[in-house]
Structure 1
């Protein structure tokens, strides 16, 4: 058997991460074990993964244009050679003051009971801030958040919130509660509640959001959203790079999440023809609009968010939800029939002082496609 020797050249931003004993990079051959561990930890059933889950894990965690074993998931093997804990991750390219880095979106920290605690601790040590350009998670548990802070990371409190704008309040409550009580989403139940909502909306006009004077909303292709996003993201020191190849890959895997509806976008346009904002969302007709990303020209936050809510109301959605963003908080908070809830800790770790400082100063755009919000692991299987 021949041996091929290659010269390895390290990029200045690259850190070779020493692995703790028992830890190694996730491999494709691990997918059956990872699927079973996912079922056991998150679905409370010790069963093999179905073909759909296995294919999805392979697509998401091995398919990114920036995938490499060093930027992918990590697993821990116990003394018997079995995987007892794992962290799945997706590499994503970010622009940091003009330089490009490949960050890691951490997903699904899985630990197989108390016996795997030592392995989980080793995995957690592997993602300490001193070893990472940028790692982040938008759905961390309190325990994971504590590990993050102990390892030199930070929590972004605003991005840890979800806003909910009730457009047809009774139907909205049933749809949101239906995540735990499916019968509330039955057609007859929702039909009756929508009838009452029609009366409520006449009696209380504040349920209907007002649009932005001098602006209108227009359907846009996903490519148009990307073209709008590029200049609107430049106001942030840290932002997703969203090259065409990565953006296309992200919207492709996001579009697989049929349980959230159809992935679509809209542009907010002034009457003089200038585009001042754009938003990307999943929509289920008559149900929930799950907003992934809202972008706008600086100073146009109020107009764009008002136009967005008026558009979603006109299209018949009962409720709109989305991740809170610091630059939108003033505009979003002016809406009636809106509340915030804690959605999970948004944690990040980085060895770069400028990234940490910018994030704590709210000079960062992250979330939506640049997070786990689109993942079927959160809604399906």
Structure 2
């Protein structure tokens, strides 16, 4: 008979191979770095809670064929600390032979002691399972956004992503984009012109790790429901988030008011000629628009061809009118034993996604080589 139990150290090799084949679509054995990181992340997570652990699904012969990676993360709401858990790296090996293994894993996860069970990376199959188990899909948290900065470069980058030899066309896109961007300062859907942000955005400066931790704690406190980060745990998360080799170099900058006070922070990854991945945008209430503009100006100056990221309700409201496109690639979902805890999520008053999720981890965007 199949079994579900907490992850053990001896399971890591099997989990790493599943991770390499199923989630990374890789060939060959899992890199040693991936094994080491999976072990560190899921057996010694930033927030340890012995009652909330990652889960494995075992076949009848005792071999591992399923995994739910679980990251404990306490949230606070109306002065009360909530036991919460982020579920991700959800995978089943040989789904055809055991079609209910995933549902059993998800049910076991939701049946844990936590008040909130969350995920920000549910694909269509996982979303169907969450719905059947009374999870609430959050549309405004599930939208991904895209802002094109250089259209020819964007097309070339997309082509290279699908067919790597097409990267040879990237230099050919630059003259076209340069010509297009000189055509006046009127805002366009297709690109950001040279003059669109010139002298019009708030100043930005690099934020070191210590300042990043402080600003995170400051900005998330404006949300009715938000993570209850300890300084040590958040320091570790900020440190681990620095490396995502597949996404490019990390850019982490604070946005300053005219008087020099920090009013926002953005963190993205990307190199000139590439599409940047935004992991987090934070701001004081009412400053979302200026912070977004400062981020777009920064990415444009660095030569990126587009930016993409995950939405939050306050960000989506600020992006309307700024020529962003929105798509749905995966779902953010919450399951609450006390249904009154769904209210801040439904009203867009919860801080969720990015660092309040699993996008900060090296599992998304690193090569482990």
User: Do both share a fold (TM > 0.5)?
Assistant: yes
CA change 1:218–1:32 in 2 (3 A) is: same
Which residue pairs with 1:169 in the alignment?
151
Aligned mate of 2:343, from 326, 341, 357? 357
The CA deviation string for residues 330-355 of structure 1, in whole angstroms up to 9 with x for no partner, is: 2212223x311212011121213332
Is 1:147 aligned with 2:129?
Answer: yes
Displacement of 1:212 in angstroms is: 7.9
Runs of 4 or more off by more than 6 Å in structure 1?
none
Query: Per the alignment, in what secondary structure is the counterpart of residue 331 of structure 1?
Result: helix
Displacement of 1:327 in angstroms is: 0.6
Which residue pairs with 2:238 in the alignment?
251
CA change 1:326–1:344 in 2 (3 A) is: same
Alignment of 1:55-134 (within 5 A): 55-113=36-94, 114-128=96-110, 132-134=114-116
Is 1:372 aligned with 2:352?
Answer: no
Equivalent pairs counted in the alignment come to 359
Partners of 1:167 and 1:374 lie apart in 2 by: 24
Partners of 1:214 and 1:172 lie apart in 2 by: 24
Which residue pairs with 2:174 in the alignment?
194
Is 1:179 aligned with 2:161?
Answer: yes
Alignment of 1:286-305 (within 5 A): 286-305=273-292
Alignment of 1:239-278 (within 5 A): 239-278=226-265
Query: Per the alignment, in what secondary structure is the counterpart of residue 90 of structure 2?
Result: strand
Displacement of 1:309 in angstroms is: 1.2
CA change 1:379–1:327 in 2 (3 A) is: same
Partners of 2:312 and 2:25 lie apart in 1 by: 33
CA change 1:225–1:155 in 2 (3 A) is: same
**What runs of 5+ residues in structure 1 fail to find an aligned partner?**
1-19
Bigger shift: residues 103-112 or 222-231: 222-231
Is 1:228 aligned with 2:210?
Answer: no
Query: Per the alignment, in what secondary structure is the counterpart of residue 117 of structure 1?
Result: coil
Partners of 2:28 and 2:53 lie apart in 1 by: 25
Partners of 2:139 and 2:46 lie apart in 1 by: 30
**What runs of 5+ residues in structure 2 fail to find an aligned partner?**
none
Partners of 1:69 and 1:182 lie apart in 2 by: 44
CA change 1:51–1:101 in 2 (3 A) is: same
Partners of 1:95 and 1:354 lie apart in 2 by: 14
CA change 1:39–1:232 in 2 (3 A) is: closer
Displacement of 1:269 in angstroms is: 1.4
Displacement of 1:44 in angstroms is: 5.5
Cα pair 2:88 2:119 within 8 Å, conserved: yes
Is 1:203 aligned with 2:190?
Answer: no
Displacement of 1:218 in angstroms is: 2.0
Partners of 1:88 and 1:218 lie apart in 2 by: 35
Query: Per the alignment, in what secondary structure is the counterpart of residue 351 of structure 2?
Result: coil
CA change 1:131–1:78 in 2 (3 A) is: same
Cα pair 1:130 1:152 within 8 Å, conserved: no
The CA deviation string for residues 129-152 of structure 1, in whole angstroms up to 9 with x for no partner, is: 785412211111122112112212
Partners of 1:343 and 1:361 lie apart in 2 by: 22
Query: Per the alignment, in what secondary structure is the counterpart of residue 238 of structure 2?
Result: helix
Aligned mate of 1:138, from 98, 120, 136? 120
TM-score by length of 1: 0.86
Is 1:312 aligned with 2:311?
Answer: no
